[in-house]
């Protein structure tokens, strides 16, 4: 099943919840801000070695990341600022994740750096051409899911390698798409 199909099903399944949030004054930017703020204690627990608290909070951060988009889409609350702010906050969360992983697991510093750079390049390519968001096997939702599973089963190294590989493949897929479809390059 494609990520876009899963995303559509997720958005549809939580429509009553997103409607409730909008009725009570919770817009997508509030959810994005909450996710961003929550990443601070999440990072703290990672550094302190409180793995269960870290992963529990990080799962909430990841859910909030999906929820802000669902609210925007389900409740017709999309704005240009919201799209920018969500992408901006996502990069901060991703940067904090890999920075504090590298600090907490110094033996993974190089792979954290590589994973961060490749993840940022995936996002950067989509920022230039919106249609590129749908291209590639290493979209952000997949990368977050792989990270969460790898962390839970104590296989961070292999999880980060897999995330890096998928991000690298996605970058190549997007470059291929751009070179085939934009002759002026």
Q: What is the pLDDT of residue 9?
A: 85
Cα 27 from Cα 10, distance rounded (Å) = 18
The proportion of the chain whose per-residue pLDDT surpasses 90, expressed as a percent, equals 69
Could you report the per-residue pLDDT of 21-59, keeping only the tens digit for each? 889 999 999 999 999 999 999 999 999 999 999 999 999
Cα 126 from Cα 28, distance rounded (Å) = 20
Greater pLDDT, 43 or 4: 43
Could you report the per-residue pLDDT of 141-166, keeping only the tens digit for each? 999 999 999 999 999 999 999 999 99
CA neighbor of 65 nearest in space, from 43, 36, 44, 42: 36
- Model confidence, pTM: 0.91
Pick the CATH number of 106-185 from 1.20.120.1760, 1.10.150.120, 2.40.50.140, 3.90.180.10: 1.20.120.1760
Confidence tier at 133 by pLDDT (50, 70, 90): confident
Stated as kind and residue range, the H or E segment containing 137 is none
Please tell me the number of Cα atoms within 13 Å of 93 on its side-chain side. Answer: 27
Please, what is the average pLDDT of the chain?
Answer: 92
Residue 1 has pLDDT above 70, yes or no: no
Domain residue limits, the chain: 1-104, 106-185
Q: What SS3 class is residue 184?
A: coil
Cα angle, residue 69 at apex, residues 113 and 44 outer, rounded to 5°: 40
Q: Is 135 exposed, middle or buried (0-12, 13-18, 19+ CB in 10 A)?
A: middle
Cα 56 from Cα 36, distance rounded (Å) = 15
Residue 20 has pLDDT above 60, yes or no: yes
Please check whether the two domains, 1-104 and 106-185, share a CATH topology: yes
CA neighbor of 143 nearest in space, from 98, 89, 82: 98
CA neighbor of 10 nearest in space, from 59, 71, 57, 60: 71
Would you state the CATH architecture of domain 1-104?
Up-down Bundle (1.20)
């Amino acid at each position: 099943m494609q990520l876009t199909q899963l995303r559509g099903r997720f958005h549809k399944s939580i429509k009553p919840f997103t409607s409730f949030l909008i009725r009570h004054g919770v817009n997508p930017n509030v959810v994005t801000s909450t996710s961003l703020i929550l990443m601070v204690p999440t990072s703290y627990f990672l550094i302190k070695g409180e793995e269960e608290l870290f992963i529990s909070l990080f799962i909430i951060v990841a859910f909030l990341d999906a929820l802000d988009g669902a609210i925007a889409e389900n409740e017709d609350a999309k704005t240009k600022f919201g799209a920018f702010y969500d992408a901006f906050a996502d990069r901060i969360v991703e940067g904090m994740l890999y920075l504090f992983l590298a600090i907490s697991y110094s033996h993974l510093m190089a792979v954290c750096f590589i994973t961060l750079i490749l993840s940022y390049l995936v996002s950067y390519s989509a920022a230039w051409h919106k249609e590129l968001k749908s291209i590639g096997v290493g979209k952000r939702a997949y990368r977050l899911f792989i990270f969460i599973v790898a962390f839970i089963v104590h296989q961070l190294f292999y999880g980060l390698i897999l995330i890096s590989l998928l991000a690298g493949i996605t970058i190549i897929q997007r470059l291929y798409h751009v070179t085939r479809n934009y002759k002026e390059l």
